Amino acid sequence: MLLVYTHKISPRLKYVFKHICKRILGIEVNFTTQIEEFIAHDSLKMSYTTKQLGNEFFVKSHDILFEQGLSDLDIHLHPWENTKCFFHIGEKSAIPFDIFSASFYLLSRYEEYLPHLKDDYGRFTAKESLAYKEGFLHQPVVDIWAYKFKAALQKQFPKFEFPVKSYRVVPIIDVPSAYKYKLKGIMRSFGGMIKDVFRLRLKGLYTRLLVLFGFIHDPYDTFKYIINRQKHSSSKFLFFFLIGDYTTYDKGINPNKKKFVSLMKHVGDYCNVGLKASFFAIEDMSILKKEKLRIEEIMNTNLIATRQSFSKLNLPESYRNLISLEIKEDYTMGYVDHIGFRAGSCTPFLFYDLDYEVQTPLKIVPYHLMDYALLKQHSQLDKKKVLSEIMDEIKQVNGQFVPIFHNYTFSDHDRWKGFKELFNIIIDSPNED
């Protein structure tokens, strides 16, 4: 166990130390304000305060972990070996930066509470983030800093044995619509045919008719392929089904359709299933509750995990609503169009509510890549290159890689050509030497 001496044990301090020490490095951590207790401790120990007590392992503290609310922070990035960091604390400390304060800033999503420009969907964008502006979005810096902290501790306490973690993958399959043409109802199908005619999409019209008359498979019906991959993979896939009502933003399948219900149950026999909350459920608690009850009735089990439609988050309200409904995990933290680490970490963390200054029970599982972001790379070789780069970053810190693919990504559409191969590279990556 690591004992931390500090002048004040605050909720922020406990939160970030537990993430770095317990969740990333796998060691227990405790805190004290008593010098006598600190001196008597005969294992890992450090001081985190404004002045060093003696010759102990010391990290000089920044003020942010002892404050409440938001303040105007002066952030300057500095290079640190293979990465960057901020909150520089000088040479007297065992490490040159207060990684605990810097990590808290990123994990709490401090910057998303500050004034910022939103996109057309009301989302915080990658380009507004400190990580994008300062060029470290591509790195899980919180985990990298944690391992630098670990190396410094090992130097001071060479006999202490740290537990070993291993790289793992949690593949996400996002299902905004299980089918492109099937189960859409007479009115929607007829409307789709009229659109095809007026827009001269004759090939689309032909395909639609073949699907509706049962001559060929629906192009979005890739579930047999995905389940077959699950059967041969050590990583457990997690599906998110949209079952909200039809709206401008969400155009899924009616959840009362028996074949759709049967599909979800079939998928649930092999994979984990969560709720893709509809666009309006993000801000309307009554809609979210209705969708939660709906999927629980279909799957006959308590809902554990959610993902918000369009990856939209309004902090802290979006997460508070999930907590109110006793939902345990959320997989929305990431950027649709940029590969990288929105919260700076590839380790799941608990949501810290900056307004209430409290650690909540909601586990945030950040995703690091969405299939759409790979479309920026035109060649298959370039796609493989950026995929390899992000996996290498996560492997170096034995982290958890969370990629998001859609059911239609595995279709034969030209846009998604080669994506099955990319998915298989990801699935097989934990088995590589």
CA–CA distance, 297 with 265 (Å, rounded to integer):
11
Residues 6+ apart with CB under 8 A from 93: 58, 59, 60
Instruction: Give bridge partners of residue 242 from the DSSP assignment.
Output: 276
pLDDT of residue 273: 98
CA 414, distance to chain mean position in Å, is 28
pLDDT of residue 208: 66
pLDDT at 189: 65
pLDDT of amino acid 198: 79
Residue type (1 letter), 376: K
What is the pLDDT at residue 210? 73
Closest by Cα among 335, 269, 276 to 301: 269
Per-residue pLDDT of the chain (433 residues; tens, 9 = 90+): 999 999 999 999 999 999 999 999 999 999 999 999 999 999 999 999 999 999 999 999 999 999 999 998 989 999 999 999 999 997 789 999 999 999 999 999 999 999 999 999 999 999 999 999 999 999 999 999 999 999 999 999 999 999 999 999 999 999 999 988 786 767 676 667 778 777 777 777 767 677 777 788 888 999 999 999 999 999 999 999 999 998 888 888 899 999 999 999 999 999 999 999 999 998 899 999 999 999 999 999 999 999 999 999 999 999 999 999 999 999 999 999 999 999 999 999 999 999 999 999 999 999 999 999 999 999 999 999 999 999 999 999 999 999 999 999 999 999 999 999 999 999 999 987 5
* Secondary structure, 3-state, the chain: CEEEECCCCCHHHHHHHHHHHHHHCCCCEEEECCHHHHHHCCCCEEEEECCCCCCCCEEECCHHHHCCCCCCCCCCCEEECCEEECCECCCCCCCCECHHHHHHHHHCCHHHHCCCCECCCCCECHHHCHHHHHCCCCCCHHHHHHHHHHHHHHHHCCCCCCCCCCCEECCEEEECCCCCCCCCHHHHHHHHHHHHHHCCCHHHHHHHHHHHCCCCCCCCCCHHHHHHHHHCCCCCCEEEEECCCCCCCCCCCCCCCHHHHHHHHHHHCCCEEEEEECHHHHCCHHHHHHHHHHHHHHHCCCCCEEEEHHHCCCCCHHHHHHHHCCCCEECCCCCCCCCCCCCCCCCCEEEEECCCCEEEEEEECCCCEEHHHHCCCCCHHHHHHHHHHHHHHHHCCCCEECEEEEHHHHCCCHHHCCHHHHHHHHHHHHHCC
Cβ atoms 151, 105 nearer than 8 A: no
